Each structure stands twice: as structure tokens, then as C-alpha cells.
Amino acid sequence: EKGRYEHFMLKEINEQPYIMMKIADTIEYYKKFSERLESALKSGSLSIVAAGTSMHAGLIGKFYLSTLAGFGSDVIIASEFPEWSRHIANGDVILAISQSGETADVLEAVRIARDRGAKVFSIVNVPGSTLTRLSDEYVFIQAGPEVGVAATKTFTAQVASLYVISSLISDPTSSEDLREKLLSISNSILKDMGRVDEESRKIAGLLKSREHVFFLGRGVNYPTALEGALKLKEISYIHAEGYAAGEYKHGPLALIEEGVPVIALIPKERSLINKIIYNLMEVKARGSFTVTIQPPDVSLPSDRRLVVDVEDELTSPLIYAIPLQLIAYYTALELGRNPDKPRNLAKSVTVE
């Protein structure tokens, strides 16, 4: 049921702070999975396998596992797994991430990995899905049913789960700190939701007539930028691309001309801010219309600012994802598209 919301997508976007509270209150639930993953990782390499939005969450998971837990990993796009996984052997570990647990490419990858003797861990939303049956260990992201074709609440629930799992691997006694951190993030999202919704709607009004939109991010928000672009193209049909901010000058910069919107996700960490300011000035000098999604108290040369309350760099994708989802949602509405049912797409892709 959509309740008071016009679309499932908007309802699901608004559910996000409550799902984070649920994850905060069930940190212990992730413990066994984290312990087993850590012990499996002692004997083999880790490959994260997923598609679409879940793959973007997987890239953030790679960042968390590296930064928090000290484990290196590879992220393999599920449909490419058969070709890119020939090195995977007995004792290696696959971490499959899938909302539905039914994505054909993910299931095929897992079958291949199992045949080679790899251990399969998975992060899933739908209970009883095929992926849980093919996995040695699985954990649920507890986001509840997602009806909108565009993944929203399941993205942040995957990211929050990966944050919890990586933090528990790093320090199994950190449950209480994690709980407090996630609760404070959900409270700050709730507090700002009305304003962020309104400002995202205004930005959507500026994007609706544009042909291309670019999203830039650094570090942990490089995958968030990819996700912002996927959301926008998927439901508004405007051409959108996400890039690592520093990679942009290696080619895509040629596409910038007067009025092309560039949406930059501004890091919280001071040491990264100067770099992104330089990236912004580069596109601005070529006529781009710049929007920054940013922490308070940072003065930036952007044409439009959307300020959010970022707690720390690592958890910032949980907060930045929300205006990106809302911008995509309102742009789709401005263009008369149905955001819940984008053309050509199905909620779960059960063919390879």
C-alpha cells in the first residue's frame, strides 16, 4: 500500500530512516555472519558479485572492508562473472548482494563459484529467495518489500548492513557505538527530510530540460555518484553518468558545454575538499551548471547548494543517497514519467 504517498518510490525513500533504526536495533543479528565471513576470508580471496544498484552498494562494501576491516576485495559485475572469475578456486569467498535474491546473473555467478569450491556469503532482502538457498551463509537487510522498480531503501539498507558487518569484523565489541551512530544518522535524516525533499524538487525543476547530467564523487562517494546517475537515467530517461571526480578530466570533460549540469558530492573530510573544489572550478570554467550536495560550513563555488548533515565520511553515502533519489523522482514527475514503472525495466531481472 502506498498510503499517503503518490508513488511507491516516494514512500520507500521516506522509509529509509526507519530501516536504519531497525538495523541499529539489530546489530547483534549481523554478528554471526561477520564472524563467519572474517574466518572464511583468512583462507581465500574475496569477490563481491552483484548487479545494478546492488553492485554500487558492493563497491561501497569494498571500501568499508578495506578501510575498516583491512580486507582487499574485487567487485565483479554479475553478468561478467563467468569471464572474469577464472582465478576463483577452492577456499575463495564470494559475497553476493541482491535485493530480490532472484537476479539470474547473480545466481549463475554463485553456481559457477560453488562448482569451483568457493564459499558463498550473501546479503539479501527477500526472505526465501533462491539466493539464500544457494548460499553457505546469508543475512537479510531488513528493508521490507520494495515495489518501485528503482531500488532506493534497499540500497541504503545494503550499505548500512555492509557498514555494520565491516565494523564488526574490525571490532566485534563495537555494537553499541554502531547502534548510536546509525540512530543518530536516522534522526538527522528525519529532521531534514522535509527540507531536502523541497530542495531536491527545485533542483529537479532545473534538470528536466537538460540532455545530459553528470554526477561526481570521490572515495566512498564515487559509487554514490554512480548510483545517482543510475537513478536519474532509469526513471527520467535523461542521459546521466557518474564519475570519480578525478577521472572526469581524462575524457568526459570534453562533454561539458554551457548549461550542462554537474552534481558533485562534497566530501566531509577536509583533505578531500580542496581536490573537489578544483574539479568543480574546471567544469564551471567551461560553462557547466554546478550543484553541490554538501556538509554545512563549506563554502564552494557552486551555482546551487543542497546542505545535508553529514556525520562522517564513511557513512555519508547513507545521507547523500536520499537527495539523489529525490532528484531522480521529481525529475521523472516533471517529465510526466511513472517513476514506479520505468519503461523496458522489470523489478527483478530473471534472464541472463
Q: Which amino acid is at 189?
A: I
> 152: exposed, middle or buried (C-beta count within 10 Å: 0-12, 13-18, 19+)?
buried
Map the footprint of ligand M6R across residues 316-335, applying CB under 6 A: none
Least distance in angstroms from the C-beta of 132 to ligand M6R: 13
| Residues contacting ligand M6R: total by CB under 6 A | 16
Determine which residue in the list 26, 170, 187, 348 makes contact with ligand M6R, applying CB under 6 A. Answer: 348
Residue 186 is inside which H or E element, if any?
helix 175-207
Among 24-32, 98-106, 187-195, 209-217, which window interacts with ligand M6R (CB under 6 A)?
A: 98-106
Among 95-103, 297-305, 306-314, 320-328, which window interacts with ligand M6R (CB under 6 A)?
A: 95-103
Q: Rule CB under 6 A: say whether 106 interacts with ligand M6R.
A: yes
Among 16-24, 69-77, 100-108, 314-322, which window interacts with ligand M6R (CB under 6 A)?
A: 100-108
Q: Rule CB under 6 A: say whether 53 interacts with ligand M6R.
A: yes
Among 3-11, 47-55, 261-269, 313-321, which window interacts with ligand M6R (CB under 6 A)?
A: 47-55
Determine which residue in the list 85, 98, 161, 224 makes contact with ligand M6R, applying CB under 6 A. Answer: 98
| Residue showing the smallest CB distance to ligand M6R in the complex | 52
Q: Rule CB under 6 A: say whether 178 interacts with ligand M6R.
A: no
Q: Rule CB under 6 A: say whether 349 interacts with ligand M6R.
A: yes
Map the footprint of ligand M6R across residues 107-166, applying CB under 6 A: 149-151
Asked whether the beta carbons of 33 and 62 are under 8 A apart, the reply is no
Q: In the annotation, is 347 catalytic?
A: yes
Q: d(Cα 197, Cα 330) in Å, to the nearest integer?
A: 9
Residue among 150 and 178 whose Cβ is closer to ligand M6R: 150
**Residue 140, strand partner residues:** 124
Q: d(Cα 132, Cα 122) in Å, to the nearest integer?
A: 7
Residue of 2, 208, 233, 347 marked active site = 347
Asked whether the beta carbons of 151 and 53 are under 8 A apart, the reply is yes
Least distance in angstroms from the C-beta of 198 to ligand M6R: 24
Asked whether the beta carbons of 131 and 348 are under 8 A apart, the reply is no
Residue from 199, 197, 203 nearest 290 by CA = 203
Q: Grid coordinates 582487499 are at which residue?
A: 72
Least distance in angstroms from the C-beta of 160 to ligand M6R: 15
* Residue 158: how many other CB atoms lie within 10 Å: 27
Q: d(Cα 135, Cα 286) in Å, to the nearest integer?
A: 50
Dihedral, 29, 30, 33, 34 alpha carbons, nearest 10: -140
Map the footprint of ligand M6R across residues 54-73, applying CB under 6 A: 54
Q: d(Cα 63, Cα 59) in Å, to the nearest integer?
A: 6
Q: d(Cα 131, Cα 54) in Å, to the nearest integer?
A: 14
Q: Which positions are catalytic?
A: 347
Which residue ranges make up the site for ligand M6R (CB under 6 A)? 51-54, 98-100, 103, 106, 149-151, 230, 234, 348-349
